[in-house]
């Protein structure tokens, strides 16, 4: 099956949305928000997580390209009223700040 017709990829892609950081604060407070590097593909990372691809996830974590949002980062995003691309891969909410 080609990746273009992968039903899980399609589902994840359709569930991505732009959200104000302020609406994600309760999830951040619960420790359920992970950020990904701006140059990564949000859908690809979510797909790795949904498929429990531990080696790929560990690689992203160890290189700092997938990380828990720090209190300092959360504060900056809130002060700047940022909107972030998001997708839920339970129990996580993945967020990505893309610079234009």
**In degrees, to the nearest 5, what angle opens at C-alpha 28 toward C-alphas 49 and 30?**
90
As a whole number of angstroms, the distance between CA 34 and CA 27 comes to 10
64-97 pLDDT, tens digit each: 999 999 999 999 999 999 999 999 999 999 999 9
Please name which of 61, 29, 30 lies closest in space to residue 45, comparing C-alpha atoms.
Answer: 61
pLDDT category at 1 given cuts 50, 70, 90 is very low
Please give the tally of structural domains in the chain.
1
**Residue 47 sits in which domain range?**
3-96
26-46 pLDDT, tens digit each: 999 999 999 999 999 999 999
In this structure, are residues 81 and 21 in contact, taking their beta carbons and an 8 Å threshold? Answer: yes
């Amino acid at each position: 099956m080609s990746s273009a017709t992968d039903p899980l990829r399609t589902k994840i892609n359709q569930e991505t949305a732009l959200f104000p950081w302020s609406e994600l604060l309760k999830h951040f407070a619960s420790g359920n928000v992970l950020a990904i590097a701006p140059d990564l593909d949000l859908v690809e990372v979510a797909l790795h997580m949904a498929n429990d691809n531990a080696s790929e996830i560990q690689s992203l974590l160890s290189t700092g390209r997938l990380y828990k949002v720090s209190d300092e980062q959360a504060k900056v995003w809130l002060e700047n009223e940022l909107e972030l691309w998001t997708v839920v891969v339970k129990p996580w909410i993945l967020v990505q700040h893309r610079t234009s």
